[in-house]
Structure 1
Amino acid sequence: MPLLNSILSWVSVKRLQQINWYKTYPQDIQNELLFQLISDAKETVWGKKCKYAAITSVEDFQKQVPLNHYEDIQPYIERIRNGEQDVLWHTPIKWFAKSSGTTNDKSKFIPVSKESLENCHFRGGRDSVLIYNHMYPDSNMWKGKSLALGGSHQISKYSMDSYFGDLSAILIQNLPFWAHFYRTPEISVALMDEWEEKIEKIAQITSEENVVSLAGVPSWTMVLIKKILEMQGKTNILEIWPNLELFIHGGVSFTPYREQFQSLIPKETMRYMEVYNASEGFFAIQDNPSTNDMLLMLDVGVFYEFIPIENIHDENPPTLILTDVELGKNYAIVISTNSGLWRYIIGDTVEFTSKYPYKIKITGRIKHFINAFGEELIIDNAEKALAEACMQTNAKIREYTAAPIYMSETTKGAHEWLVEFEQEPSDMQLFVELLDEKLKDVNSDYEAKRYKNITLAPPIVKSVVEGTFYAWLKAKGKLGGQHKVPRLSNTREYIDDILLYQNI
């Protein structure tokens, strides 16, 4: 054991020193990584198309490789899913992280290479624990088990060697054997497809374990905690897990959930740590509990570029490397990764809060959206669903806006819609049901959150009087020009103001 502790201590010190180099050599680290990615992929279909062998500078890379959305690389991804290799990346890819968000399909399938698993996602997880233990040397994390609430996985219909599922499930499926000694529940339960049964099983099993840390999306984790308390007849989770000390969270904003977690985990020494781990890669870790920003990870197989948000819709927007960004400005992230995503616009926006080291805050999505519970509802989803509901009920809409209703200790989350009809639906209840069903049809993440009302309750639609939105914009001095009613918002800023203005 002393020898093992010495080895672990040496590895930890070495890795912390590498992370510390982010302060001194950030762009050097990034440039070295980029040229390694280019070298690895130069013989792939994509590498030959973009003449990777001739690239000798970052400027060459930006000139020869176009910016890409999912729709641009989808044909290449489909080739990989059908069994072809050396398309975007030089090693075989059999895993695909299923993620909603594209306007054309219900789901995206993001390639996950073995290099991305080991050197990006798993390294990010190890770094999170390393940074946490460095901040809190009195931690007892290794004396208990971690509970990470993941998704499910299933065999792809394209090939018996091609698999897809939630990223969390892919990570659980590919964990090294020793990691399973420190986690709960067993893998067969963690990867169950049926969510309601799965949460029931996890609640039964883990209530008997010494759980010291949690990891997951706040909304789903809250559902699990409430299920355990209900089953055990307890009022706070410390009655079941007295040694719980850490919740690692990401995926959606933690702000609406913080008070609820503090109520259910009434412990002054309970710690919360945000990470930025997306299907496309592991990007950032909160390394200071007193601030709400995260350290951008520079050597985990991801090369970063940034588009000023005001230029995002330009035909050829400027792309900045780390040394060119400014603090306090909003940028769309562009990534090139060791899974074969090249100059890929992931749709998230960030703001830099620090340089040397570079730290970021997630500010939202490029487009208006609702993602309070991980549902990633975008305007295209809303427009399609409203159109279907209007067609079936002979309704016409003049204006609308929607926002989340946050979970409370006694109620589930939901979406609230304010709609100004030019022609009212023939049946309002049917309109709401059709809206809900179409949203499930076009957005798999919304469908998952609405499943059996576990996280999201049915939408609430309120009809407002004619002229409501016009009068509200007028009162704000925002008539004409580029001013418009925000269709979707991830906060209640607009909808509460409209409700207050109209005394609804």
Structure 2
Amino acid sequence: MIDATPLLKIAARRRLKALQAQDPAETQAAELMKLLRWARDTAFGRAHGFSNLRTVADFQRAVPIRSYEDFWSDWWQKPFPKHRNITSPGKTTWFAVTSGTTSGATKYIPVTDRMVAANKRAAIDVVTHHLANHPDSRPLSGRTFMMGGSTDLVEEAPGVFSGDLSGIAIKTQSLWTKPYAWPPTETALLEDWQEKLDRFVEDGFEQNIAIWTGVPSWMLILLERMQEVSDGRQPFPNLELLIHGGVAWDLYRERFAPFLKQTGVATREVYPASEGFIAVADRADGEGLRLIIDNGIFFEFVPLAELGSDNPTRHWAGTIEPGIDYAVVLSSCAGLYAYLLGDTVRFVDTSPPRLLITGRTSYMLSAFGEHLIGSEIERAVNVAAQAQSVQIIEFSVGPVLSEGTGGKGGHVYIVETGNAADAGKLSADIDRALCQANDDYRAHRSGGTGMEAPVVRLVPEGSFRHWMASKGKLGGQHKVPRVISDPAKFAAMLDDFDRIAADQRR
């Protein structure tokens, strides 16, 4: 295999120079105008007068914010799977199949050829920023291991396919990247995640893997399984770059630390979605992810406090402010316009825009008026775990209402640990951290009059894996839901874990 890193470094230097010259507001306004010209003759473009829109303000007046459900019912469902000139020009060949982690509802997200090309450019950006921080690295000296879901696609209509986004990426990969890609097709097509893991373990020691990308939870499972059978061999000894995204890294950083220290592997966080590639870390770990502002997506940001109001403020690159929790809204070359993504972010810089992912719009707990966001909950769990050196493997939290009258209740945390833990101390430390971080939570916990103290329910190691398997969501891009805001759904989850515990005792 030819080490193409020298060519990549030339392209990276050019890209970095272009990034340094960008003005965020000008770049994003130009990106929006490109999208409007591109889609003006589609059914959606004609209905919203794209030909007459000249400014960001024009667009915001003409196109209301919509959720996936709005797009599906109003524009996509009736012609599906034969989309032609609906929200994007020409025929839509690909649909990424995804689901809301808490809702479980299957979604079909259009993926146009333009979006395929945009995702490829974003992947180059990831390695570009890696090289800027690690100029001696050789990321194309070996293969890239994309630890995704099954690459098998369903033919919904002649020439129209749906499936996991990683499957679409494999089917549309550029010829020059194929020699660098791993695993082979026969492994990538496997539906059974346990069988796929076995194959990864079996073949992984023999492969020259330079880049490894995936969801940290599943990457860690594979790494631990490889270490169990290593017989002195080092998993991925030539690894240069570990790319992670999809879930908060803080929960996994400590467990990856021995491997990273031993190998000297660099990490880089990314923010991908089925709807488009949003951002990538351009600096060190924890310093924010740089918004990709010139790649077929126009971004808007609605203050979380205004989400759901009749006329929310729609900020963009020209008006964003640091320190505010925003819901992400995007318009893209996949044929999405003012689309509510479902994620929440907070900016740490505005020029260039760098953000922290703070959670999901659905990942909020406010059954009792406590208004907790996902990042506050995850931070509190991490603080509590560190206080007693507990290794958190996975956790989920949800509201539980008291059986009596008055609407009182509290939060129950289902927590899987890798070592011994004191549930009572975890509960007290989580409670204390949340009281310090959130005024509404502290007010509702004051004197125990509004909310009861949180309860930590420890479950045996492997419990979350069993639960995900029972839902058909092992591996790939599937993630454990951190927050279940619906009391009925969370009660069902608790029942599931009761059955799993009973099975494990047998």
Q: TM-score, normalised by structure 1?
A: 0.73
Is the aligned partner of 1:408 residue 2:418?
A: yes
Percent identity over paired residues: 29
Shift of 1:7: 6.1
Please say if residues 154 and 163 of structure 1, whose CA atoms lie closer than 8 Å, have aligned partners that are also in contact.
no
Secondary structure at 1:307's aligned position in 2?
strand
Farther off after superposition, 341-350 or 187-196: 187-196
* Aligned counterpart, 1:115: 114
1:193 equivalent to 2:191? Answer: yes
Is it true that 1:318 corresponds to 2:328 in the alignment?
no
Could you tell me how far apart the structure 1 residues matched to 2:324 and 2:113 are?
34
CA deviation vs aligned residue, 1:91-128 (integer Å, no higher than 9, x gap): 32121112211877622111111100112x11111111
Query: How many Å separate the matches in 2 of 1:51 and 1:304?
Result: 20
Match of 2:278 among 261, 280, 283: 283
Change in Cα spacing, 1:342 to 1:79, as seen in structure 2 (3 Å) is same
Corresponding residue of 1:348: 343
Encode CA deviations 1:62-119: one digit per residue, 9 max, x unaligned. 1111100011001322345321311010132121112211877622111111100112
5 Å-filtered alignment, 1:96-495, equals: 96-101=95-100, 106-119=105-118, 121-156=119-154, 158-234=156-232, 239-267=234-262, 269-289=264-284, 291-368=286-363, 399=409, 401-406=411-416, 408=418, 447-449=471-473
Cα distance per residue 1:144-192 (max 9 Å; x no partner): 2221101124444742432222222321232112212122211231232
Distance in 1, matches of 2:187 and 2:222, equals 14
Deviates more, 1:268-277 or 1:318-327: 268-277
State the distance in 2 between where 1:341 and 1:446 align. 33
Structure 1, unaligned stretches of length 5 or more? Answer: 391-396, 418-431, 460-483, 489-504
What's the counterpart of residue 88 of structure 1?
Answer: 87
Aligned to 2:40: 42
Task: Give, in whole Å, the separation in 1 of the partners of 2:470 and 2:300.
Answer: 30
Map of 1:11 onto structure 2: 11
The answer to whether the Cα contact below 8 Å between 1:306 and 1:319 also exists between their aligned partners in 2 is yes
CA distance in 2, matches of 1:6, 1:242: 21
Instruction: Describe the shift of the 1:68–1:445 C-alpha distance in structure 2 as closer, same or farther (beyond 3 A).
Output: farther
Amino acid at match of 2:235: I
Name the SS of the counterpart of 1:367 in structure 2: coil
Q: Do the aligned partners of residues 88 and 54 (structure 1) sit closer, same or farther apart at CA in structure 2, a change above 3 Å counting?
A: same
Q: Is the 8 A contact 1:275 1:294 kept in 2?
A: yes
Cα distance in 2, alignment partners of residues 166 and 54 from structure 1:
37
Q: 1:302, 1:338 within 8 Å by CA — same for their partners in 2? A: yes
1:319-366 deviation digits (Å, cap 9, x = unpaired): 011121111111111100000011001110111101211100001111
Residue identity matched to 2:112: S
Contact 2:330 2:337 in 1 (8 A): yes
Structure-2 separation of matches of 1:154 and 1:269: 34
- 2:40 counterpart letter in structure 1: K
Q: Distance in 2 between matches of 1:70 and 1:364?
A: 18
Q: Is the 8 A contact 2:5 2:139 kept in 1?
A: no
- Judged with a 3 Å threshold, the aligned counterparts in structure 2 of structure 1 residues 15 and 311 are, in CA distance, closer, same or farther, namely same
Query: Kindly tell me: are residues 102 and 257 of structure 1, through their superposed partners in 2, closer, same or farther at Cα, counting changes over 3 Å?
Result: closer
Q: Within 1, Cα distance between the matches of 2:209 and 2:9?
A: 24
Q: Cα gap change, 1:376/1:319 in structure 2, threshold over 3 Å: closer, same or farther? A: farther
Q: 1:10 to 1:245 in 2, by over 3 A?
A: closer
Given that 1:352 and 1:361 are in contact with CA atoms closer than 8 Å, whether structure 2 keeps it comes out as yes
Partners of 2:217 and 2:195 in 1: CA distance: 17
**Secondary structure of 2:157's aligned partner:** coil
Work out whether residues 217 and 374 of structure 1, in 8 Å CA contact, stay in contact via their aligned partners in 2.
no
> Which residue number in structure 1 is paired with residue 368 of structure 2?
none
CA distance, structure 1, for counterparts of residue 209 and residue 281 of structure 2: 22
**How far 1:140 sits from its partner (Å)?**
2.3
Q: 2: CA distance between counterparts of 1:284 and 1:153?
A: 24
> Partner of 1:29 in structure 2?
27
Aligned to 1:462: none
Per mean C-alpha deviation after superposition, the further-off stretch among 133-142 and 275-284 is 133-142
Q: Which amino acid aligns with 1:403?
A: Y
Aligned equivalents of 1:85, 1:445: Cα separation in 2: 37
Specify the SS of the correspondent of 1:39: helix
Judged with a 3 Å threshold, the aligned counterparts in structure 2 of structure 1 residues 159 and 403 are, in CA distance, closer, same or farther, namely: farther
In the other structure, the counterpart of 1:478 is: none
Q: Is the 8 A contact 1:41 1:47 kept in 2?
A: yes
Cα distance in 1 for partners of 2:329, 2:395 equals 19
Match of 1:463 in 2: none
CA–CA separation in structure 2 for the residues paired with 1:180 and 1:219: 26
In the superposition, relative to structure 1, how do residues 306 and 109 fare at CA in structure 2: closer, same or farther (>3 Å)? same
1:198-223 Cα shifts (integer Å, max 9, x gaps):
11112212221122221100001111
Whole-Å Cα distance in 2 between the matches of residues 456 and 303 of structure 1? 29
Distance 1:172 1:6, change over 3 A: closer
1:191/1:155 CA distance change after superposition, 3 Å = closer
Residues 115 and 338 in structure 1, CA contact (< 8 A), matched pair in contact too: yes
Per-residue CA deviations over 1:41-79 (Å, capped at 9, x if unaligned) read 111111111111111211111111110001100132234
What do you get for the CA RMSD once the two structures are aligned? 3.9
> Aligned equivalents of 2:273 and 2:90: distance in 1?
21
Distance 1:375 1:45, change over 3 A: farther
Contact 1:153 1:163 in 2 (8 A): no
TM, length-normalised to structure 2: 0.73
Q: Secondary structure at the match of 1:90?
A: coil
Specify whether residues 8 and 244 from structure 1 end up closer, same or farther in structure 2 by C-alpha distance, changes over 3 A only.
Answer: closer
- In 1, are the aligned partners of 2:328 and 2:342 still within 8 Å (CA)? yes
Equivalent pair of 1:450/1:456 in contact (CA under 8 Å): no
Deviations 1:278-337 (A, max 9, x none): 111111111111543111110011101110111012122110111211111111111000
1:455-491 deviation digits (Å, cap 9, x = unpaired): 979x9xxxxxxxxxxxxxxxxxxxxxxxx99x98xxx
Shift of 1:400: 5.3
- Counterpart of 2:367 in structure 1 is none
